[in-house]
Structure 1
Amino acid sequence: MTLPTSAPLIALLLAAILWGLSWIPLKHFAAYDVHGVSLNLVAYGGLALLFLPLLWRQRAAWRGQGLTLLGIALLGGYANFAFTTGMALGEVVRVMVLFYLVPVWGVLGGRLFLGEVIDRPRLLGVVLALTGALLILGGPAVLQGEVSWLDLLAISCGLAFAGNNIVFRARPQLPMGSKLAAMFLGCAAMAAAGLEAGVQDWPAAPAAIWGGVLLFGFGWVLLATLGTQWGVTHMEAGRAAILIILELVVAVVSAMLLGGERMSPLELAGGALILGAALLEGWREGKRPVAG
């Protein structure tokens, strides 16, 4: 059956909106001290259990690719863990903008691991994004060590996310279900390790909150993840890259309107540069010739 041309567009737009608004339930859970280790163990642990049977059924397709799945578990698992933690505890606007250094890490990683060429538009995008990050982190103050752990979490989250995307692209023959299962398992395993290490005490939250966390995992996270992966698979790379930026716009605008957050002129300038870099990378992807 032929898919409507608008279907991937709608899926990607809805996924970007879900990710951009995910700070709302995450902040709600954090008010009950449910964040980080506890939230990820319940939300992503539930998803891992859901996908385990699929991972087992697809074992013939990924046999011999254990290291690849391990890489996805580590990179994708950490990216999801860091994203939910940063959005729950940090300033939404700051976390999202720093997370969107993804184009920088994607360009550099693509060059190092996939042999992709860094042409002038890509080099310009890297310079714009790094300059924007410097401004958001306080300009010259960043050289004096005035960077919070949440800033580092957001930056490392983007780095891990870009690395995970590179692994996804490098192994297109692996079933998507197995890749997602590895990512969910990795996040849940990191949360379990954190709990065992005493990183966070288990919060005494009401049962309704834990039910909400499960719904967040099975509903919000799963729909956003499937929408993103399905959308980018059925759409030109450049168009998809630009549409995904809607996630950043939705997060920033909603946090300012609903969360009362504000950005200083320096942060606004930095955010504009990073947004420009992301748009430039999306435009560049769209200019790639399609292999025939």
Structure 2
Amino acid sequence: MNTRHDAFPVMVLLFASIFWGLSWLPLKILHQSGFDGSLIVFFAYALLSLAFIPFLLQQKKYLVSHLRPWLLIALLGGGANLAFNTALIYGEVIRVMVLFYLLPLWGVLGGKFILKEHVDAKGWLAAGLAIFGAFLIVGGMTIFENPPGWVDGVALLSGFLFAMNNLAFRAHQDIPMVPKLSALFIGTMILSGVLALVTDAPLPNLIHQSDWALLVFYGLVWLLIANYGSQWGVTHMPASRSSVIIIMELVVAVISAVLLTNESLDITESIGGFLILCAALLEALRSQSHIAAAPH
């Protein structure tokens, strides 16, 4: 066994997960510099889409013959990316990331009722922990006095769409990486563009060149490393191992938000976050789990 060869995918996926965990930082900076949230997402993914179109055209025969699953991934993955980025831009990083990681719940329910998979006791335990953890995160019993805000809903939606997109990946595992990534990028670009038009998002004004440079760097470098690295990594190692490594994204996001901002969780929210983390680990370690990681 080549240990060095086996370690390389782990390092790639770990590196990509760190980029995902820190993705809130350029998003916050760009928003504070004057970019509307939907336009940040639109510009960043438009750059990625343009970069991938030449490669997609090389596989146009495949695209034509697999148009329906491609469009499904574009819709689900694009919606997940848009919701995830929007929640990070406007919400508290730790709260958004923890709510996003209700993936065990959506994964178990989707696998059971959509893919008709068998769910064992660990799966149902993971789902239960995720539900109770989310209940604590959004306020516990005080939820009846102070309903969660819209950002909480968008964060939950992002996790749900991400899990549904993973199910689409599992149902169409023959989709190569280039069409898969291009579907995610183009879908995100179109949906964020529609949102910007519907909400009449103000065009950026008096933006410094350094901020435009950061946006280009975020779109063409940061997101490309995160997306391609995560996709390449999970295709070169067992799903159970990759699922555990991807949880590093949540750890990095929480630690960085605590160190770089004034964010924190109270005791109830902390317990909820711990339960969701346990649920994610349980789901990742399920022997029959075959959850592929999709880009955000």
State TM-score, norm by structure 2: 0.93
Aligned positions of 1:250-269 closer than 5 A? 250-269=252-271
The CA distance in 2 between the partners of 1:175 and 1:133, in whole Å, is 35
- The equivalent of 1:94 in structure 2 is 95
Counterpart secondary structure, 2:255 = helix
Q: Which runs of 4+ in 1 moved over 3 A?
A: 285-288
CA contact (8 A) 1:36 1:191 kept: no
- The equivalent of 1:245 in structure 2 is 247
CA contact (8 A) 2:239 2:289 kept: no
The CA distance in 1 between the partners of 2:252 and 2:43, in whole Å, is 26
Counterpart secondary structure, 2:237 = coil
The CA distance in 2 between the partners of 1:192 and 1:250, in whole Å, is 29
- The equivalent of 1:116 in structure 2 is 117
Name whichever of 247-256 and 168-177 sits farther off.
168-177
Offset at residue 231 of structure 1 (A): 0.7
Structure 2 stretches lacking a partner, 5+ long: 291-296
The CA distance in 2 between the partners of 1:254 and 1:108, in whole Å, is 31
Counterpart secondary structure, 2:5 = coil
The CA distance in 2 between the partners of 1:248 and 1:286, in whole Å, is 23
Q: Among 212, 215, 218, which residue is 1:213 paired with?
A: 215
Per-residue deviation, residues 48-79 of structure 1 (Å, max 9, x unmatched):
11111222211222323212111111111111
CA shift in 2, pair 1:108/1:286, >3 Å = closer
Aligned positions of 1:155-174 closer than 5 A? 155-174=156-175
- The equivalent of 1:79 in structure 2 is 80
Name whichever of 51-60 and 96-105 sits farther off.
51-60
Per-residue deviation, residues 147-191 of structure 1 (Å, max 9, x unmatched):
100000100000011111111111111111101101100111012
State TM-score, norm by structure 1: 0.94
CA contact (8 A) 1:74 1:186 kept: yes
- The equivalent of 1:34 in structure 2 is 35
Aligned positions of 1:149-188 closer than 5 A? 149-188=150-189
Offset at residue 133 of structure 1 (A): 0.1
Q: Aligned residues, how many?
A: 287
> Pairwise CA RMSD of aligned residues?
1.6
Amino acid at match of 1:56: L
- The equivalent of 1:25 in structure 2 is 26
- The equivalent of 1:270 in structure 2 is 272
Offset at residue 4 of structure 1 (A): 1.1
Per-residue deviation, residues 77-100 of structure 1 (Å, max 9, x unmatched):
111111122112110000000000
- The equivalent of 1:134 in structure 2 is 135
CA shift in 2, pair 1:286/1:114, >3 Å = closer
CA shift in 2, pair 1:230/1:178, >3 Å = same
The CA distance in 2 between the partners of 1:56 and 1:141, in whole Å, is 53
- The equivalent of 1:103 in structure 2 is 104
The CA distance in 2 between the partners of 1:168 and 1:145, in whole Å, is 37
Give identity over the alignment, percent.
Answer: 43
Offset at residue 211 of structure 1 (A): 2.0
- The equivalent of 1:227 in structure 2 is 229
The CA distance in 2 between the partners of 1:34 and 1:86, in whole Å, is 15
Whether 2:32 is the aligned partner of 1:55: answer: no
